[in-house]
Amino acid sequence: MQLDQKRKPRTSQRTAQLESKDVLLEPGKTVERGSGYEHVKLESFGLFESRASVRNIRGDAVSEGPILPSEYCQQRLDALYERVSACREEFIGYPLNLDFDYSEVLAPFLRFSLNNVGDPYQRVPTNLSALQTHDFEREVLEIFCGLTGGSPADVSGYVTNGGTEGNMYGLYLAREVLPRGIVYFSDACHYSVFKILRVLQMRSVRIRTDGRGEMDYNHLRETLQANRDLPAIVFANIGSTMTGAIDSLPRIKAAVSEAATCRSYIHCDAALSGFVLPFAPNPQPFGFSDGADSISVSGHKLIGSPIPCGVVLARRCHVEGIGSNIEYVGALDTTLSGSRNGLTPLVLWYAFRSRGIRTVRDMVRRALDVAAYATEQLRAAGVDAWRHENSLIVVFPRPSECLVKRWHLAAQADIAHLVTMPHVSRNQG
C-alpha cells in the first residue's frame, strides 16, 4: 500500500537525530560514561553491522544489537503503519473507537515531557508546573463530573491510564474509608478486578449473575445479610465486559439497606458505558446522585485516544483522607502513580472542546442506532443476537474461528460479541 503523503508518519527527523548521535561512536573507540555503570565499546561500524556491547557493573556484556540505518527504521515503521491502518475496516469486536485524528493539533506536544504528577486540584503550583496540563485535566474532570451528576465542589479525581487504574483507585479509596469492608463483585466483572483485589489484599465475595451478566440481587442480599456486621463495598458493573450488563444501583442500595449492613461504599466500573449512558435517551442510573461513591471510565474506548487513558472520580471526602504533601515535587499526592501522563488530558479535552457535547451525544446516538440495526440484521439472518438497553455490545452465539479472526471478535465460552464503536457503520460486512 502506498501511504498517502498527508498521513505518512513523520519519523525521519527522529531517526536523523539518532544517527547524528551514533556518529560519535567511531569504529574501535571506547566510550566511558558516568559512574562506570556503562562501558560502551564499538566493535565495528557499517550498515546493519554496527554493534555496541554494553557491560554492566560486574563487567558482563548485557546487550548487543545493530544500530539501524534510518531507511531501515522507516521501513519498519511504515510496515507497522500499514498494518494498523488496514485493520480499521474489520475491527468490530473490542470497544476501541478508531475514528479520531489528533495528529495535526497535538503532535507538537510530543516534543515535551508533559508530566501531571500530583493532585490536579492542588492550589499551590508543583515544582513541575511548567510542564503540567493540570488546568486541561480539571476541565476534563468537570465535564465527566457534569455527565455523572456530581458537583465539582463535592467530587474530585484525575485522568488515569485507563479503566483498570480507575477501578483500583476506587477500591483503594473504599479500603481506606472502610478498612474492614468486604468487596461484593459479580461473576461478570472485568478480569482485572481479581488482580486488583489480590494487590489490595481485600476480602471479597463473588456474586452470581443472571444468564445475561447482571448481578443476582437475591444472592447479593443473602451474602450481605450473612456479613451484616462488616462494611460492604459493592463493585457495580455499569456495562459488563462481555454482555454490557448494567447492575442496578437502586437494587444494590435496596439490598444493602434490607440487609441492615453497617456501612457501605459503591464503586461503579463504567469503562465503556460511562461515556454512553449520559447521552442515551433513557439512561440507567449510575451517577453520584444515584449513590455512587466513585466512578471509573476509559477514555480510549468511547471517546478514542492514541494512548490508553481514563477518568476516575470520587467523592471529595474520600479523597481527602488519602492525600499527603510530598516536598520533593511540591505536590499533593492523591493519585496512584507518581509521574502521570500530561498528554492524555489534552486528548480528552480536545475531543470534547473541539466538537462540543452535542456532537459527542450525536456520535453516541448514531452508535446506539448501529447496535440496534446490527442486532436486527443478525436476527433476520437467523442468528440469536441480543443486547442490553443502551448498550453498544451485540451478543450472539460463538461463530466459527474463521469469523472470530476476520472481525477481531471477542469470544468467551459459547458467546461472542461485536461492539458498534463510532468507526463501525451500517455498511460494514
Ligand X SMILES: Cc1ncc(COP(=O)(O)O)c(C=O)c1O
Q: Please list, residue by residue across 207-230, b when 16 or more beta carbons sit within 10 angstroms of its beta carbon and e when fewer do.
A: bebeeebbbebebbbebbeebeeb
Q: Judged by CB under 6 A, which of 115, 204, 298, 334 binds ligand X?
A: 298
Q: Which of 310, 342, 345, 422 binds ligand X (CB under 6 A)?
A: 310
Residue 160 or 261: the one with the smaller Cβ distance to ligand X is 160
Active-site annotation holder among 129, 391, 400, 425:
391
- Is residue 60 helix, strand or coil? coil
Q: Annotate each residue in 222-241 with x if it binds ligand X (CB under 6 A) or - if it does not, as one string.
A: ---------------x-xxx
Asked if residue 164 binds ligand X (CB under 6 A), the reply is yes
Whether 391 is a known active-site residue: answer yes
**Residue span binding ligand X (CB under 6 A) among the ranges 41-49, 161-169, 225-233, 380-388:** 161-169
Residues in region 241-260 near ligand X by CB under 6 A = 241
Tell me which amino acid residue 401 is.
E
Among 134, 190, 387, 388, which residue sits at the site for ligand X (rule: CB under 6 A)?
190
Based on the shown chain and the rule CB under 6 A, indicate whether residue 163 belongs to the binding site for ligand X.
Answer: yes
CB-based contact 74:12 (threshold 8 Å): yes
Going by C-beta distance under 8 Å and a sequence separation of 6 or more, which residues neighbour residue 400?
A: none
How far apart are the C-alpha atoms of 63 and 275, rounded to whole Å? 45
The one among 118, 120, 150, 162 contacting ligand X by CB under 6 A: 162
Long-range contacts of residues 383-386, Cβ cutoff 8 Å, at least 24 apart: 386/212
Helix (H) or strand (E) holding 357: helix 357-380
Contact 242, 391 (CB under 8 A): no
The 358-397 site mask, x for binding ligand X (CB under 6 A), equals ----------------------------------------
If the CB atoms of residues 331 and 419 are measured against ligand X, the closer one turns out to be: 419
- The answer to whether residue 170 forms part of the interface with ligand X (CB under 6 A) is no
Q: Which residues pair with 294 in a beta bridge?
A: 267, 314
| Residue bearing cell 483500583 | 168
Catalytic residues: 391
Q: Tell me which residues touch ligand X (CB under 6 A).
A: 162-164, 167, 190, 192, 237, 239-241, 269, 271-272, 298, 308, 310
